[in-house]
Amino acid sequence: MARVMAGLTTSHVPAIGAAWDQGLHETPYWAPVFRGYQWTKDWIGEENPDVVILVYNDHASAFSLEMIPTFAIGCADDFAIADEGWGPRPVPTVVGAPRLACHLAQSLILDEFDMTIINQMDVDHGLTVPLSLVFGSPERWPARVIPLAVNVVQYPPPTGERCFKLGRAIRRAVESFDEDLNVQVWGTGGMSHQLQGTRAGLINQEYDRMILDKMTADVAALRAIPHLEYLRETGSEGIEMVMWLIMRGALGDDVEELHRHYHVPASNTAVGHLVLRARD
Ligand code: DHB
Ligand code: FE
C-alpha cells in the first residue's frame, strides 16, 4: 500500500528560483533564505520519497483568465518547464507518476471532489522553486511529481476547509493504491504578501507565526479562517496559504513538526517553511 509519510510547506517566490539559478545563494541577501532549507535537504536525502504530490498554483503560465480550474491534477508522463517570459528555468523536466495520478483522479472524483484532469501542462515557478529549495540542482529530480494545481489567482478560490477536506481525501486515495510507495504532499505559496495596489509589500509576521504554530497546535482554527481574513491580515496573495491546508489534511490527525524556517523578506514575501511528519 502507498502511504503519505510526511509533508512540507514552503513559499514559492520566483525570485528564489532566479537567485538559485544565478548562483546567488551565498550572497548576504539570499544566504539566510537558503540556509533554512539545509535541514530539509539532508532530511529528504534520507526519506527518499518515491512520489511528491505537489500542491501549487499556476501563475497564468499553463492557465489564463480564459480557463481557471479550481482543483486540477496532472496525470501526464512528464511536465515541461514553463517559459515565464525570460526562458524556462534551467532545471530538469518534471517526471510524473501517471498510474498513481489517474488512481487519485478516480478516487477523488468518486469521493465527490471534482478534479480537472490535465494530460499536458507546463509547470511554472510555483512548482519548480519548491523542488529547487528542497532538492537543490540534481541532474534529474529524485522523486516523481504529481502536480496538483489550485486556483488562488481569481476570486473565488476554494475555502481552507474545502482544501483540508481534499487533503483528507488524498490520504484515503493514496492508501487505496496497490503499490508500496513512500508519498509526500507539499503545500506551497505564501506566506503573507501583496504584490499590487496600495498595500503592495504588506508582510504580517505576527499572523504568519500564528499560522506556523497552528499547523500542528490547532489546525481547526486554521480551517475556519475566511477569505476576508486572509486578505486583511496577509495581503491579496496570502490566500495562497489555503494550499498548505491540503498538505495538512493529507497527513491525518496527528502530526509532528520536524523543522521550521521563517525569514523576512524574500522579494515581496515572508518565506515560511515547515516539515511535518504523519504520526498515525
Ligand atoms: C512573488 C511571490 C509569489 O508567490 C509569486 O507567485 C510571485 C511573486 C514575489 O514576492 O515577488
Ligand atoms: Fe505565488
CATH number of the domain where residue 134 is located: 3.40.830.10
How many CB atoms neighbour CB 168 within 10 A? 17
Closest CA to ligand 1's atom 10? 268
- Amino acid identity of residue 214, one-letter, is K
pLDDT value for 131: 98
- Amino acid identity of residue 115, one-letter, is M
Choose the residue to mutate in 61, 153, 268 for probing ligand 1, maximizing ligand atoms within 8 Å of C-beta: 268
Choose the residue to mutate in 9, 59, 241, 269 for probing ligand 1, maximizing ligand atoms within 8 Å of C-beta: 269
Q: Does the residue 107 lie in any domain?
A: yes
How many CB atoms neighbour CB 179 within 10 A? 12
Number of domains composing the chain:
1
Catalytic residues: 125, 193
* Helix pair angle (38-47, 125-135), 10° resolution: 80
How many angstroms is it from 155 CA to the middle of ligand 1?
18
Q: Does the residue 275 lie in any domain?
A: no
Contact predicate 137/46, CB 8 Å: no
Q: Is the CB of 14 under 6 A from ligand 1?
A: yes
Q: Does the residue 278 lie in any domain?
A: no
Contact predicate 10/273, CB 8 Å: yes
Q: Does the residue 71 lie in any domain?
A: yes
The minimum-distance atom of ligand 1 relative to the CA of 268 is 10
Residue 92's domain spans which residues? Answer: 3-253
Closest CA to ligand 1's atom 5? 13
Joined together, the cell numbers standing for residue 151 give: 486556483
How many angstroms is it from 228 CA to the middle of ligand 2?
18
pLDDT value for 280: 77
Q: Is the CB of 269 under 6 A from ligand 1?
A: yes
Q: What is the pTM of this model?
A: 0.98
Query: Which of 267, 229, 279, 270 lies closest to 7 in space, CA to CA?
Result: 279
pLDDT value for 249: 98
Q: Is the CB of 12 under 6 A from ligand 1?
A: yes
**Interacting residues of 243 by C-beta distance below 8 A, sequence separation 6+:** 55, 56, 57, 150, 152, 163, 187, 188, 189
Between strands 78-81 and 94-95, the pairing is: antiparallel
CA distance 147 to 163: 15
How many angstroms is it from 139 CA to the middle of ligand 1?
26
Distance of CA 5 to the CA centre of its chain: 16
pLDDT tens for the chain, 280 residues: list them.
Answer: 999 999 999 999 999 999 999 999 999 999 999 999 999 999 999 999 999 999 999 999 999 999 999 999 999 999 999 999 999 999 999 999 999 999 999 999 999 999 999 999 999 999 999 999 999 999 999 999 999 999 999 999 999 999 999 999 999 999 999 999 999 999 999 999 999 999 999 999 999 999 999 999 999 999 999 999 999 999 999 999 999 999 999 999 999 999 999 999 999 999 999 999 999 7
Q: Does the residue 271 lie in any domain?
A: no
How many angstroms is it from 14 CA to the middle of ligand 2?
8
Joined together, the cell numbers standing for residue 185 give: 504532499
Choose the residue to mutate in 13, 57, 123, 234 for probing ligand 1, maximizing ligand atoms within 8 Å of C-beta: 13
Contact predicate 278/2, CB 8 Å: no
